[in-house]
């Protein structure tokens, strides 16, 4: 039986993923690194409430098989590009580094459609840079999921997502062929795909775009 490690378990995708990990039998232990108590009682769940900026306090706790990184924010919520980069690049890099040291074999991360380290868009550039970092690591498996606009109920309100999601749902009939990957996707679908991909244990680095995620997470 495997051990899953998770950061970002309070977010839209992460909360769905945590429920799946706890409900299914593939993992005997689920270790969540969080800033606050999740309020969940489950015999499989181990919570480490940590200060993400004090890595020396948790580096030795990152022991398991599959690491799921669903952490993420927006520049608006973070307050600055610097703080955004800390959450979407520095923290995943930090955890990945410790996971490697502790012999975790598989790292799975939620990125964004069109993420590219050479992008002029700071958000997409940052997402692309963490992908490039992971591509150069020695994990047995790295899976990068690039969902399109996410649908679902978040703990915080994001106006752009709500408005964009509404219009893209109305115009969903236009998303076919090469445009299929831009169709909005439910956070729960992404979580299911993330779990399914982890069970495949494919070797190497692979990117899954939103249309592939939609098929896998059905």
pTM: 0.89
Report which DSSP code applies to 86.
Answer: I
Cα 119 to chain centroid, rounded: 20
Pairing of strands 66-69, 106-110: parallel
* C-alpha distance from residue 13 to each of 20, 70, 161, 171, 195 (Å): 11, 7, 14, 24, 11
Q: What distance, in Å, lies between the first and last C-alpha atoms of the chain?
A: 25
* Mean per-residue pLDDT over the chain, rounded: 91
- What stretch of H or E contains 44? none
- Expressed in percent and rounded to 5, the helix, strand and coil fractions of the chain are 45, 20, 35
Instruction: Please give the pLDDT value at position 67.
Output: 98
**Which residues of 50-190 form beta strands (DSSP E)?**
66-69, 106-110, 141-146, 150-151, 185-186
Distance CA 113, CA 104 (A): 26
For residues 77-103, average pLDDT: 97
Q: Tens digits of per-residue pLDDT, 178-192?
A: 677 888 899 999 999
Q: Tens digits of per-residue pLDDT, 144-167?
A: 999 999 998 755 555 555 555 555
Instruction: Please give the pLDDT value at position 81.
Output: 97
For residues 97-107, average pLDDT: 98
């Amino acid at each position: 039986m495997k051990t899953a490690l998770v950061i970002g378990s309070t977010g839209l995708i992460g909360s769905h993923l945590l429920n799946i990990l706890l409900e299914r039998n593939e993992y005997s232990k689920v270790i969540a690194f969080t800033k606050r108590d999740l309020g969940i009682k489950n015999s499989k769940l181990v919570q480490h409430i940590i200060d993400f900026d004090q890595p020396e306090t948790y580096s030795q706790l990152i022991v398991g098989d599959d690491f799921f990184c669903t952490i993420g924010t927006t520049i608006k919520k973070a307050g600055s590009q610097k703080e955004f980069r800390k959450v979407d690049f520095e923290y995943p890099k930090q955890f990945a580094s410790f996971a490697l040291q502790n012999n975790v074999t598989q790292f799975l991360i939620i990125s964004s459609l069109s993420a590219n380290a050479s992008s002029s868009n700071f958000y997409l550039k940052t997402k692309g840079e963490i992908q490039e970092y992971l591509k150069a690591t020695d994990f047995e498996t790295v899976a990068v999921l690039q969902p399109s606009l996410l649908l679902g109920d978040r703990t915080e309100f994001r106006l752009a997502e709500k408005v964009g999601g509404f219009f893209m749902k109305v115009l969903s009939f236009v998303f076919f062929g090469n445009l299929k990957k831009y169709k909005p996707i439910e956070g729960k679908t992404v979580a299911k795909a993330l779990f399914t991909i982890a069970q495949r244990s494919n070797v190497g680095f692979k990117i899954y775009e939103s249309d592939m995620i939609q098929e896998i997470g059905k």
